[in-house]
Amino acid sequence: MNTHQIIITHEPKEMIFIFVYTRILDSKGSLAVAELTEIPEDFFCLFPELQELIYYGNYLKEIRNNTFACLTKLTSLDLAMNEISYIARDSFKSLTSLSEIYLSYNILTSYKESLFGKNTNLKYLYLHFNLIEEVGSSSFCESEALVNLYLHGNKLEDINNQTLGCLKKLQILDISLNPIKTIHPNSFCGMQRLHTLNMKKVDLTYINKNDFNCLDNLQTLNLQGSAIKNIEKDSFCHTPGLSSLTIERCELDEIRKDTFACLTKLETL
């Protein structure tokens, strides 16, 4: 069997789901690896009705801007666990029906280009466990419908308003397991609907009273295991709806008795 071939058993134009996973067992029961490192140009134009594509766990190196151009009805794309280090600008621009995309467990080092164009349907973006050091100004702004954004396990060192402030519909943000040392003023302003913020195990050592400005609807904040040594007075007064705060295994020198005075709805600490 030629493991480099993708075998289609149905009429291509009628297919709405494809799972491409090429680590298969050969006739002796041993693991055979196809090592698909690229997708032939226009290959997916054979499947105009495709709605879900799982290309998980292959060896794809890059995404060219015409790779998925024909898949205008695609709603879910899973490219996790590849070796993707480069994604061309506007690679997913034509995927106007796309609501979720998995780019986790690759080797991306930056997210600076516009990838999706003006996509009003993209709600779930998974970028965790890459090597991302930099997120370009307004890179996420064309994906204004985002509800969940996962950036944990990267190499981000600071957070600023230009990066995230335009995500007005965002509800869950995970930036844990990053070496974040700085949160710039008003970094989270604009995200009025955010209710869950995960900052577990970041390198932040000091929380300023304006770090969490504008997060009136935040309910869950996880700072577990972070390098925090000091929390400025009134730091949580901008998160009046907070009901769950996790600060265990931080490096706090002390906790003043008025540290949590503003958190009248706090249930779990």
Tell me, what's the pLDDT at 19?
55
**Is residue 23 pLDDT above 80, yes or no?**
no
- Outline where the chain has alpha helix (H): 161-164
How large is the average pLDDT for residues 37-62? Answer: 87
Band the pLDDT of 6: cuts 50, 70, 90.
very low
Given this chain, do its domains 1-152 and 156-269 carry the same CATH topology?
yes
Q: Out of 22-26, 55-59, 140-144, 198-202, give the one with best mean pLDDT.
A: 198-202
Please write the tens of the pLDDT for every residue from 86-106. 999 889 999 999 999 999 999
Assess whether pLDDT exceeds 60 at residue 198.
Answer: yes
Q: Which of 78, 188, 82 is nearest to 126 (CA)?
A: 78
Q: 1-152 has which CATH code?
A: 3.80.10.10
Q: Work out the pLDDT band at 201, boundaries 50, 70, 90.
A: very high
pLDDT of residue 159: 92
**Structure confidence at residue 267 (pLDDT):** 93
Q: Provide the b/e sequence for 58-88 (b: ≥16 CB within 10 Å).
A: bbbebbeeebbbbbebbbbbbbbbbebeebe
Please report, for the chain, the start and end positions of each structural domain, with discontinuous segments joined by +.
1-152, 156-269
Would you identify the CATH topology of the domain 156-269?
A: 3.80.10
